[in-house]
Amino acid sequence: MAAIAPQTLEEKPVAVESQSKSITLRISKFNPKTESNRNFVDFTIPYKKWTTVLDAILVVKENFDHSVGVRYSCRQSSCGSCGMKINGKPALACYTKISELNSNTITVEPMDNFPIIRDLVVSFERMFSAHKKLKPYIISEDSEITKDTKEFLQTPEDVEKYLQFSNCIKCGLCNSACPTMATDSSFIGPQALAQAYRYVADNRDKGKNDRLKIIDDSHGIWRCHFAGSCSKVCPKGVDPAMAIQLLRGYLLGFRK
Amino acid sequence: MEKQTNREGIKGWLNPTRYGIERFAYWLMRLTGLGLLAYFVAHIIETSTIVDGKDAWDKMLELTQTTEGHIILALVIGMSVFHTVNGIRVMLGQGGIGVGKPGRPDYPYNKPASLNNKHKLCIYASIGLAALAMLYGLQVMFGV
Ligand code: SF4
Ligand code: FES
């Protein structure tokens, strides 16, 4: 790892509001196609109370190094694109305020346990295929749009059984924090397991047995050791650790 | 391979500091598990000396009567107690017991129900009980 000399906004004649506070933003730069090692490049960035890590990265892109690879879209923790390791922990860059990190140096790196595409961008291919494998949709013979447009009525209590799990934005932070994902390349992962529970808990769904069969595998649900790190980092309150243990309850016969 | 997949690898679970007390308990559970496995192997080697006669057996027993032997045995006591008590917590949790009820999550979504105070309390209790058992063992072995 090599650190390149820091760059500051003052060195460039760009019109950015003068700020009293600033931090050093250390960005991991790495292109696996052309390089063999990661480099860290330092930038001095001014910030305000509400400046997010993503804002700071975009200042770098605008003023110093437009080649920094970063994925983002909504900038409001809704699309799940901007997950990265911020000071050693996976978090959404658009949801992490610099002022809350209590550090003069902020290091941003690509999330662990995902292949790096470039710089801060990782590939979600495996996570999405695990998600897809667990049939993330309602399985039912009935249909709302046929048979006299019959409605599927659910009480608020029925909805609460799966609502929090449907908050998942597929950001991958949970898979990045999971200690099993760190060593088992075939583990389904907390993201997909939580989604399996989301549909199993929905009383419109009839696919419980199909999904339980898929996760009852040597690299499936039994690999979770309830370290809880997935729930700790989840930015949407999904609580994958809870979903996984409740799901396991069905396989162990504690739940029907 | 590791580089391509960017997996954290074994160092992912070697660092217990980033994700709260639950991750610390996970780390300690693994360490105590490995420690107990090592003790189990050493114990088999130790007791197998009996096939070499009384002298060999007595010599081996003497080893456990040293200060180092007492400290190792105290650690074994601590590891067994933590691994058992925390193991019961993990087993109950893994059956979906005490992990909270699904509900409507509230902003800022930083209080996951599965990482609740009951679990935290059990973890602190397992560490506390292990420490107490170790102290008791040391007291018996050193006779203070
Ligand atoms: S469960 Fe949470 S952390 Fe995991 S992908 Fe969904 S929103 Fe992200
Ligand atoms: S940019 Fe959409 S979640 Fe951060």
**A187-206 as b/e: b if 16+ CB within 10 A:** bbbbbbbbbbbbbbbbeebe
Q: How far is the CA of A94 from the centre of ligand 1 (A)?
A: 15
- Closest to A190 in 3D by CA, of A173, A169, A208: A173
Burial label, B143 (beta-carbon count in 10 A; 0-12, 13-18, 19+): exposed
Q: Determine the pLDDT at residue A55.
A: 97
Which pLDDT band, with edges at 50, 70 and 90, does A132 fall under? very high
Give yes or no for residue A68 CB within 6 A of ligand 1.
Answer: no
- Closest to A94 in 3D by CA, of A60, A58, A128: A58
Domain extents in chain A = 2-122, 125-251
- Closest to A61 in 3D by CA, of A70, A49, A51, A53: A70
User: How distant is the alpha carbon of residue A169 from its chain centre?
Assistant: 7
* Beta bridge partner(s), residue A39: A2, A29
- Cβ atoms < 10 Å from Cβ of A237: 21
Nearest to B104 among A164, A182, A248 (CB): A164
CA distance A120 to A106: 14
CA distance A78 to A200: 24
| Residue A123 sits at the chain B interface (C-beta within 8 Å) | no
Percent of chain A at pLDDT above 90? 82
- Of A241-245, B60-64, B120-124, give the lowest mean pLDDT range: B60-64
Burial label, A94 (beta-carbon count in 10 A; 0-12, 13-18, 19+): buried
Q: By the 8 A CB rule, do A168 and A195 touch?
A: yes
Which pLDDT band, with edges at 50, 70 and 90, does A183 fall under? very high
CA-based angle A28:A29:A33, to the nearest 5? 135
Which pLDDT band, with edges at 50, 70 and 90, does A5 fall under? low
pLDDT (average), residues A234-245: 96
Residue B103 Cα distances to A35, A154, B118, angstroms = 47, 15, 18
pLDDT in tens, B85-134: 999 999 999 988 899 999 988 888 888 999 999 999 999 999 999 999 99
CA distance A89 to A224: 20
Q: How far is the CA of A127 from the centre of ligand 2 (A)?
A: 17
Give the closest residue (by CA) to ligand 2 atom 3. A77
Domain A2-122 listed as CATH 3.10.20.30: yes
Helix and strand counts by DSSP (H, E) for chain A: 8, 8
pLDDT in tens, A148-166: 666 778 899 999 999 999 9
Q: Are strands A116-118 and A105-109 parallel, antiparallel or unpaired?
A: unpaired
- Of A5-9, A184-188, B115-119, give the lowest mean pLDDT range: A5-9
Which pLDDT band, with edges at 50, 70 and 90, does B65 fall under? confident
3 state SS of A235: coil
Superfamily of structural domain A125-251: Alpha-helical ferredoxin (1.10.1060.10)
Phi, psi of A241 (to 5 degrees): -60, -40
| Residue A255 sits at the chain B interface (C-beta within 8 Å) | yes
Nearest to A225 among B19, B26, B97 (CB): B26
Amino acid at A178: C
| Residue B33 sits at the chain A interface (C-beta within 8 Å) | no
| pLDDT higher than threshold 90 for residue A12 | no
Which pLDDT band, with edges at 50, 70 and 90, does A195 fall under? very high
* Beta bridge partner(s), residue A92: A83
Q: Determine the pLDDT at residue A16.
A: 52
- Would you say how long chain A is, in residues? 256
- Closest to A54 in 3D by CA, of A22, A24, A84: A84
Give the closest residue (by CA) to ligand 1 atom 5. A170
Q: Which of B4, B5, B123 to mutate to test the interface with A (most CBs of A within 10 A)?
A: B5
Give the closest residue (by CA) to ligand 1 atom 3. A234
Q: Determine the pLDDT at residue A144.
A: 61
| Residue A252 sits at the chain B interface (C-beta within 8 Å) | yes
User: How close, in Å, is residue A248 to chain B by CA atoms?
Assistant: 6
CA distance A112 to A58: 22
What part of A 20-79 touches B (C-beta under 8 Å)? 32
| pLDDT higher than threshold 90 for residue B46 | no
Contacts of A118 (CB under 8 A, 6+ apart): A30, A31, A32, A33, A69
Which pLDDT band, with edges at 50, 70 and 90, does A97 fall under? very high
Atom of ligand 1 minimally distant from the CA of A90? 3
Q: Determine the pLDDT at residue B110.
A: 85
* Beta bridge partner(s), residue A105: A24
| pLDDT higher than threshold 50 for residue A211 | yes
Prediction ipTM score: 0.88
Q: Is the dihedral of CA B90, B94, B97, B99 positive or negative?
A: positive
| pLDDT higher than threshold 80 for residue A70 | yes
Residue-averaged pLDDT of chain B = 91
pTM (two decimals) = 0.89
Q: Determine the pLDDT at residue A254.
A: 80
Which pLDDT band, with edges at 50, 70 and 90, does A6 fall under? low
Give yes or no for residue A236 CB within 6 A of ligand 1.
Answer: yes
Q: Determine the pLDDT at residue B106.
A: 85
Which pLDDT band, with edges at 50, 70 and 90, does A141 fall under? confident
User: How close, in Å, is residue B13 to chain A by CA atoms?
Assistant: 6
| pLDDT higher than threshold 50 for residue A13 | no
CA distance A119 to A128: 21
Q: Determine the pLDDT at residue B2.
A: 44
Q: Determine the pLDDT at residue B13.
A: 79
